[in-house]
Protein backbone atom coordinates (compact mmCIF):
# COMPACT_ATOMS: atom_id res chain seq x y z
CA UNK A 1 0.00 0.00 0.00
CA UNK A 2 2.95 2.29 -0.83
CA UNK A 3 3.67 3.38 2.72
CA UNK A 4 0.19 4.11 4.03
CA UNK A 5 0.88 2.84 7.52
CA UNK A 6 0.19 5.76 9.83
CA UNK A 7 -3.37 5.86 11.17
CA UNK A 8 -3.11 9.66 11.19
CA UNK A 9 -2.62 9.63 7.41
CA UNK A 10 -5.54 7.29 6.68
CA UNK A 11 -9.17 8.42 6.89
CA UNK A 12 -10.90 5.19 5.79
CA UNK A 13 -9.50 1.74 6.52
CA UNK A 14 -11.34 -1.49 5.75
CA UNK A 15 -10.18 -5.05 6.37
CA UNK A 16 -12.05 -7.96 4.81
CA UNK A 17 -15.23 -5.86 4.74
CA UNK A 18 -18.04 -8.07 3.48
CA UNK A 19 -21.78 -7.69 2.99
CA UNK A 20 -24.09 -10.51 1.93
CA UNK A 21 -27.83 -10.73 1.43
CA UNK A 22 -29.43 -14.18 1.66
CA UNK A 23 -25.97 -15.70 1.38
CA UNK A 24 -25.05 -13.77 -1.78
CA UNK A 25 -22.04 -11.48 -1.34
CA UNK A 26 -22.52 -8.01 -2.81
CA UNK A 27 -19.23 -6.91 -1.24
CA UNK A 28 -16.49 -9.48 -0.80
CA UNK A 29 -13.53 -8.98 1.58
CA UNK A 30 -12.79 -5.34 0.74
CA UNK A 31 -9.37 -4.10 1.90
CA UNK A 32 -9.09 -0.37 1.39
CA UNK A 33 -7.11 2.61 2.65
CA UNK A 34 -8.07 6.19 1.80
CA UNK A 35 -5.35 8.79 2.51
CA UNK A 36 -6.15 12.06 4.23
CA UNK A 37 -6.71 15.07 1.94
CA UNK A 38 -6.94 12.94 -1.19
CA UNK A 39 -9.57 12.76 -3.91
CA UNK A 40 -10.23 9.03 -3.96
CA UNK A 41 -12.15 7.64 -6.92
CA UNK A 42 -14.11 4.48 -6.10
CA UNK A 43 -14.62 3.05 -9.55
CA UNK A 44 -16.84 0.33 -10.89
CA UNK A 45 -19.86 -0.44 -13.08
CA UNK A 46 -23.39 -0.25 -11.73
CA UNK A 47 -24.03 -3.05 -9.26
CA UNK A 48 -20.36 -3.52 -8.38
CA UNK A 49 -20.80 -2.78 -4.66
CA UNK A 50 -19.91 0.91 -4.52
CA UNK A 51 -23.12 2.14 -2.89
CA UNK A 52 -23.10 -0.81 -0.48
CA UNK A 53 -19.63 0.22 0.67
CA UNK A 54 -20.78 3.79 1.26
CA UNK A 55 -23.78 2.62 3.31
CA UNK A 56 -21.46 0.49 5.43
CA UNK A 57 -19.06 3.38 6.03
CA UNK A 58 -21.94 5.62 7.09
CA UNK A 59 -23.32 3.00 9.47
CA UNK A 60 -26.59 2.77 7.54
CA UNK A 61 -26.18 -1.02 7.26
CA UNK A 62 -23.99 -3.45 9.15
CA UNK A 63 -21.27 -5.68 7.73
CA UNK A 64 -21.65 -9.45 7.43
CA UNK A 65 -17.93 -9.92 8.09
CA UNK A 66 -14.74 -7.92 8.34
CA UNK A 67 -14.17 -4.50 9.86
CA UNK A 68 -13.83 -0.86 8.91
CA UNK A 69 -12.85 2.36 10.60
CA UNK A 70 -13.28 6.02 9.71
CA UNK A 71 -11.01 8.52 11.50
CA UNK A 72 -9.74 5.50 13.44
CA UNK A 73 -13.21 4.78 14.85
CA UNK A 74 -15.13 1.57 14.20
CA UNK A 75 -18.11 1.92 11.89
CA UNK A 76 -20.08 -0.53 14.03
CA UNK A 77 -19.58 1.16 17.38
CA UNK A 78 -19.06 4.82 16.60
CA UNK A 79 -21.23 5.52 13.56
CA UNK A 80 -22.93 8.57 15.12
CA UNK A 81 -19.60 10.17 16.04
CA UNK A 82 -18.30 9.42 12.54
CA UNK A 83 -21.32 10.98 10.80
CA UNK A 84 -20.79 14.22 12.72
CA UNK A 85 -17.53 14.64 10.82
CA UNK A 86 -18.76 13.43 7.42
CA UNK A 87 -20.62 15.18 4.63
CA UNK A 88 -22.66 12.94 2.33
CA UNK A 89 -24.25 13.46 -1.07
CA UNK A 90 -26.63 10.71 -2.18
CA UNK A 91 -26.77 9.64 -5.81
CA UNK A 92 -30.20 11.22 -6.28
CA UNK A 93 -30.60 14.06 -3.74
CA UNK A 94 -34.13 15.24 -3.03
CA UNK A 95 -35.25 18.70 -1.93
CA UNK A 96 -38.36 20.65 -1.05
CA UNK A 97 -38.96 22.39 -4.36
CA UNK A 98 -40.58 25.48 -2.84
CA UNK A 99 -37.52 26.21 -0.68
CA UNK A 100 -34.56 28.24 -1.92
CA UNK A 101 -30.95 27.13 -1.88
CA UNK A 102 -30.24 29.57 0.94
CA UNK A 103 -33.15 28.27 3.02
CA UNK A 104 -32.07 24.67 2.43
CA UNK A 105 -28.50 25.29 3.54
CA UNK A 106 -29.62 27.34 6.53
CA UNK A 107 -31.89 24.47 7.59
CA UNK A 108 -29.00 21.98 7.29
CA UNK A 109 -26.51 24.25 9.04
CA UNK A 110 -28.73 24.52 12.13
CA UNK A 111 -28.03 20.84 12.85
CA UNK A 112 -24.33 21.62 13.23
CA UNK A 113 -24.11 25.19 14.57
CA UNK A 114 -25.74 26.68 17.64
CA UNK A 115 -23.90 29.99 17.53
CA UNK A 116 -25.10 33.42 16.39
CA UNK A 117 -27.49 33.56 13.44
CA UNK A 118 -25.09 35.95 11.73
CA UNK A 119 -22.32 33.33 11.74
CA UNK A 120 -24.65 30.71 10.26
CA UNK A 121 -25.71 33.14 7.55
CA UNK A 122 -22.05 33.84 6.77
CA UNK A 123 -21.29 30.14 6.46
CA UNK A 124 -24.27 29.60 4.16
CA UNK A 125 -23.10 32.50 2.00
CA UNK A 126 -19.55 31.11 1.83
CA UNK A 127 -20.88 27.72 0.76
CA UNK A 128 -23.15 29.15 -1.93
CA UNK A 129 -20.21 31.11 -3.30
CA UNK A 130 -18.01 28.01 -3.30
CA UNK A 131 -20.40 25.99 -5.46
CA UNK A 132 -21.30 28.87 -7.78
CA UNK A 133 -24.88 29.34 -6.62
CA UNK A 134 -24.60 32.77 -4.99
CA UNK A 135 -26.56 34.38 -7.82
CA UNK A 136 -29.31 31.75 -7.55
CA UNK A 137 -29.43 31.55 -3.77
CA UNK A 138 -32.98 32.86 -3.44
CA UNK A 139 -34.64 31.04 -6.31
CA UNK A 140 -36.96 28.08 -5.61
CA UNK A 141 -35.09 24.81 -6.08
CA UNK A 142 -37.84 23.49 -8.38
CA UNK A 143 -36.43 25.82 -11.05
CA UNK A 144 -32.88 24.43 -10.74
CA UNK A 145 -31.23 22.37 -13.46
CA UNK A 146 -29.78 18.94 -12.72
CA UNK A 147 -26.28 20.38 -12.43
CA UNK A 148 -27.44 23.12 -10.07
CA UNK A 149 -29.15 20.54 -7.88
CA UNK A 150 -25.93 18.53 -7.68
CA UNK A 151 -23.95 21.63 -6.79
CA UNK A 152 -26.49 22.38 -4.08
CA UNK A 153 -26.10 18.81 -2.86
CA UNK A 154 -22.34 19.25 -2.51
CA UNK A 155 -22.92 22.54 -0.69
CA UNK A 156 -25.33 20.85 1.70
CA UNK A 157 -22.89 18.00 2.28
CA UNK A 158 -20.00 20.26 3.24
CA UNK A 159 -21.74 23.14 5.01
CA UNK A 160 -20.42 21.71 8.32
CA UNK A 161 -16.74 21.74 7.23
CA UNK A 162 -16.57 17.91 7.15
CA UNK A 163 -13.28 16.09 7.50
CA UNK A 164 -14.56 13.56 4.95
CA UNK A 165 -16.87 14.20 2.02
CA UNK A 166 -18.57 11.11 0.56
CA UNK A 167 -20.20 11.55 -2.83
CA UNK A 168 -22.22 8.77 -4.44
CA UNK A 169 -22.14 9.13 -8.25
CA UNK A 170 -22.04 12.95 -8.06
CA UNK A 171 -22.02 13.51 -11.85
CA UNK A 172 -23.72 10.38 -13.21
CA UNK A 173 -26.90 12.00 -14.54
CA UNK A 174 -25.41 15.30 -15.69
CA UNK A 175 -24.65 16.73 -19.10
CA UNK A 176 -21.02 17.64 -19.92
CA UNK A 177 -21.34 21.17 -18.55
CA UNK A 178 -22.90 19.93 -15.32
CA UNK A 179 -20.16 17.33 -14.89
CA UNK A 180 -17.51 19.98 -15.54
CA UNK A 181 -19.00 22.21 -12.83
CA UNK A 182 -19.21 19.43 -10.24
CA UNK A 183 -15.65 18.24 -10.89
CA UNK A 184 -14.43 21.82 -10.60
CA UNK A 185 -15.99 22.11 -7.16
CA UNK A 186 -14.35 18.88 -6.08
CA UNK A 187 -10.98 20.23 -7.15
CA UNK A 188 -11.56 23.43 -5.15
CA UNK A 189 -12.35 21.37 -2.06
CA UNK A 190 -9.14 19.34 -2.41
CA UNK A 191 -7.21 21.34 0.21
CA UNK A 192 -10.00 21.40 2.77
CA UNK A 193 -11.19 17.83 3.14
CA UNK A 194 -10.81 14.23 2.01
CA UNK A 195 -13.13 13.33 -0.85
CA UNK A 196 -14.26 9.74 -1.37
CA UNK A 197 -16.55 9.44 -4.35
CA UNK A 198 -18.04 6.57 -6.29
CA UNK A 199 -18.53 6.68 -10.03
CA UNK A 200 -18.58 4.63 -13.20
CA UNK A 201 -17.48 7.58 -15.38
CA UNK A 202 -13.85 6.78 -16.08
CA UNK A 203 -13.02 10.12 -17.68
CA UNK A 204 -14.01 11.99 -14.52
CA UNK A 205 -11.83 9.79 -12.33
CA UNK A 206 -8.80 10.39 -14.51
CA UNK A 207 -9.33 14.14 -14.39
CA UNK A 208 -9.58 14.80 -10.67
CA UNK A 209 -8.50 11.78 -8.62
CA UNK A 210 -5.23 11.32 -6.74
CA UNK A 211 -5.90 7.67 -6.04
CA UNK A 212 -8.38 5.11 -7.35
CA UNK A 213 -9.80 1.72 -6.51
CA UNK A 214 -11.44 -0.53 -9.10
CA UNK A 215 -14.32 -2.71 -7.94
CA UNK A 216 -16.28 -5.29 -9.92
CA UNK A 217 -18.82 -7.87 -8.79
CA UNK A 218 -18.17 -6.85 -5.19
CA UNK A 219 -14.43 -7.54 -5.31
CA UNK A 220 -11.53 -5.10 -5.27
CA UNK A 221 -9.42 -5.60 -8.38
CA UNK A 222 -6.88 -2.80 -7.95
CA UNK A 223 -6.02 0.18 -5.76
CA UNK A 224 -3.19 2.64 -6.38
CA UNK A 225 -2.28 6.27 -7.06
CA UNK A 226 -3.76 7.04 -10.45
CA UNK A 227 -0.37 7.86 -12.02
CA UNK A 228 0.94 4.46 -10.94
CA UNK A 229 -2.13 2.67 -12.23
CA UNK A 230 -1.92 4.37 -15.61
CA UNK A 231 1.78 3.56 -15.89
CA UNK A 232 1.23 -0.10 -15.01
CA UNK A 233 2.54 -2.08 -12.06
CA UNK A 234 6.11 -1.79 -13.28
CA UNK A 235 5.90 1.99 -13.42
CA UNK A 236 7.15 1.83 -17.02
CA UNK A 237 6.35 4.41 -19.67
CA UNK A 238 6.01 3.45 -23.31
CA UNK A 239 7.32 5.32 -26.34
CA UNK A 240 5.93 4.49 -29.77
CA UNK A 241 8.10 4.90 -32.88
CA UNK A 242 7.20 4.45 -36.53
CA UNK A 243 10.32 3.53 -38.52
CA UNK A 244 11.30 2.57 -42.03
CA UNK A 245 14.70 1.51 -43.31
CA UNK A 246 17.23 -1.19 -43.99
CA UNK A 247 16.32 -4.35 -42.00
CA UNK A 248 19.89 -4.89 -40.82
CA UNK A 249 20.15 -1.28 -39.65
CA UNK A 250 16.84 -1.63 -37.81
CA UNK A 251 18.12 -4.75 -36.04
CA UNK A 252 21.31 -2.95 -35.00
CA UNK A 253 19.29 -0.01 -33.69
CA UNK A 254 16.99 -2.34 -31.76
CA UNK A 255 19.99 -4.07 -30.17
CA UNK A 256 21.55 -0.73 -29.23
CA UNK A 257 18.39 0.55 -27.60
CA UNK A 258 17.72 -2.74 -25.78
CA UNK A 259 21.13 -2.46 -24.13
CA UNK A 260 20.27 0.85 -22.44
CA UNK A 261 19.79 0.55 -18.68
CA UNK A 262 16.57 2.57 -18.81
CA UNK A 263 14.92 0.34 -21.45
CA UNK A 264 12.92 -2.58 -20.07
CA UNK A 265 11.67 -4.03 -23.35
CA UNK A 266 10.85 -3.49 -27.03
CA UNK A 267 7.95 -4.95 -28.99
CA UNK A 268 7.94 -4.73 -32.80
CA UNK A 269 5.13 -5.17 -35.32
CA UNK A 270 4.81 -4.56 -39.04
CA UNK A 271 2.39 -2.06 -40.57
CA UNK A 272 2.83 -2.13 -44.33
CA UNK A 273 6.41 -1.07 -45.01
CA UNK A 274 6.83 0.43 -41.53
CA UNK A 275 8.06 -1.03 -38.27
CA UNK A 276 6.07 0.04 -35.23
CA UNK A 277 8.18 -0.13 -32.07
CA UNK A 278 6.84 0.14 -28.55
CA UNK A 279 9.75 0.84 -26.22
CA UNK A 280 9.06 0.36 -22.50
CA UNK A 281 11.29 2.57 -20.35
CA UNK A 282 11.81 2.99 -16.63
CA UNK A 283 13.16 6.55 -16.91
CA UNK A 284 10.93 8.72 -19.10
CA UNK A 285 13.23 11.75 -18.86
CA UNK A 286 16.25 9.85 -20.20
CA UNK A 287 14.10 8.29 -22.90
CA UNK A 288 12.86 11.69 -24.03
CA UNK A 289 16.42 13.01 -24.17
CA UNK A 290 18.21 10.04 -25.75
CA UNK A 291 15.85 7.61 -27.50
CA UNK A 292 15.32 9.49 -30.73
CA UNK A 293 19.05 10.32 -30.99
CA UNK A 294 19.99 6.66 -30.76
CA UNK A 295 17.68 5.87 -33.68
CA UNK A 296 18.90 8.79 -35.78
CA UNK A 297 22.52 7.64 -35.60
CA UNK A 298 21.76 5.52 -38.64
CA UNK A 299 21.42 7.38 -41.93
CA UNK A 300 19.46 4.42 -43.30
CA UNK A 301 16.48 4.70 -40.90
CA UNK A 302 13.63 7.16 -41.37
CA UNK A 303 11.50 8.13 -38.35
CA UNK A 304 7.95 9.17 -39.27
CA UNK A 305 6.44 8.94 -35.80
CA UNK A 306 7.72 9.36 -32.26
CA UNK A 307 5.90 10.00 -28.99
CA UNK A 308 5.08 8.82 -25.51
CA UNK A 309 2.08 6.52 -25.43
CA UNK A 310 -0.92 8.14 -23.79
CA UNK A 311 -2.78 5.84 -21.42
CA UNK A 312 -6.37 6.34 -20.36
CA UNK A 313 -8.22 4.85 -17.45
CA UNK A 314 -10.78 3.11 -19.63
CA UNK A 315 -8.06 0.96 -21.22
CA UNK A 316 -6.52 0.18 -17.83
CA UNK A 317 -9.91 -0.64 -16.30
CA UNK A 318 -10.86 -3.05 -19.06
CA UNK A 319 -7.46 -4.76 -18.92
CA UNK A 320 -7.73 -5.24 -15.15
CA UNK A 321 -11.27 -6.60 -15.36
CA UNK A 322 -10.35 -8.97 -18.20
CA UNK A 323 -7.33 -10.28 -16.28
CA UNK A 324 -9.56 -10.95 -13.27
CA UNK A 325 -11.80 -13.20 -15.38
CA UNK A 326 -14.88 -11.15 -14.44
CA UNK A 327 -17.39 -9.60 -16.79
CA UNK A 328 -18.49 -5.98 -16.63
CA UNK A 329 -22.24 -5.74 -16.41
- Each residue's pLDDT tens digit, 28-73: 999 999 999 899 999 888 888 999 999 999 999 999 999 999 999 9
Structural domain count of the chain: 2
Position 288 scores a pLDDT of 87
**Residue 159, domain member (yes or no):** yes
Of 231, 258, 284, the residue at which a domain comes to its end is 231
User: Domain of 41?
Assistant: 7-231
**Residue 27, domain member (yes or no):** yes
Domain co-membership, 227 together with 261: no
**Residue 167, domain member (yes or no):** yes
Domain co-membership, 51 together with 184: yes
Per-residue pLDDT band for 1 (boundaries 50, 70, 90) equals very low
Domain co-membership, 200 together with 281: no
The lowest-confidence range among 61-65, 129-133, 201-205, 264-268 is 201-205
Domain co-membership, 155 together with 175: yes
For all residues of the chain together, what is the average pLDDT?
86
Position 4 scores a pLDDT of 46
Domain co-membership, 257 together with 144: no
- Summarize pLDDT for 233-292 with one digit per residue, the tens: 445 578 899 999 999 999 999 999 999 999 988 989 888 889 999 898 888 888 889 999
CA distances from 63 to 1, 19, 221, 230 (A): 23, 5, 20, 32
Q: Looking at residue 62, which CATH number applies to its domain?
A: 3.40.50.300
Domain co-membership, 179 together with 110: yes
Give the integer Cα–Cα distance in Å for 85 and 83. 5
Domain co-membership, 170 together with 270: no
Amino acid sequence: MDGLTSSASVVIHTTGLTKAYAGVKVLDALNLQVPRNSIFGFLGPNGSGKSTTIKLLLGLIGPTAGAASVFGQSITGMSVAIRQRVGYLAQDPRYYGHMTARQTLHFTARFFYDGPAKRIAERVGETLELVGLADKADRPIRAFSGGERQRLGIAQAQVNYPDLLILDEPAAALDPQGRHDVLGIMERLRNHTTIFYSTHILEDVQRVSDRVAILNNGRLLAEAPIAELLAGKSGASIYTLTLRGDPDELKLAQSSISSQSWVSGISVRQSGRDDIWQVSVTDADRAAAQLLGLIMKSAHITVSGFGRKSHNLEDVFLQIVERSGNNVH
